[in-house]
Amino acid sequence: DTGVSQDPRHKITKRGQNVTFRCDPISEHNRLYWYRQTLGQGPEFLTYFQNEAQLEKSRLLSDRFSAERPKGSFSTLEIQRTEQGDSAMYLCASRLTGSYEQYFGPGTRLTVT
Q: Which is nearer to other proteins, 56 or 78 (CB)?
A: 56
In order, the DSSP letters of 22-88 are EEE--TT--EEEEEEE-TTS--EEEEEEETTEEEEE-TTS-TTEEEE-TTSS-EEEEESS--GGG-E
Q: Which is nearer to other proteins, 66 or 103 (CB)?
A: 103
Question: How many chain residues are in contact with other proteins, going by CB under 8 A?
Answer: 26
The CB density around residue 46, as the number of other CB atoms within 10 Å, is: 21
Q: By CB under 8 A, name the one of 43, 67, 75, 79 that touches other proteins.
A: 43
Q: By CB under 8 A, name the one of 32, 107, 110, 112 that touches other proteins.
A: 107
Q: Quote the DSSP letter at residue 8.
A: -
User: With binding defined as CB under 8 A, does residue 106 bind other proteins?
Assistant: yes
User: With binding defined as CB under 8 A, does residue 38 bind other proteins?
Assistant: no
Annotate each residue in 65-104 with x if it binds other proteins (CB under 8 A) or - if it does not, as one string. Answer: --------------------------x-x-x----xxxxx
CA-closest candidate to residue 36, choices 103, 79, 92, 80: 92
Contact 63, 82 (CB under 8 A): no
Binding residues for other proteins, rule: CB under 8 A, are 2, 4, 6, 31, 33, 35, 40-45, 48, 56, 91, 93, 95, 100-107, 109
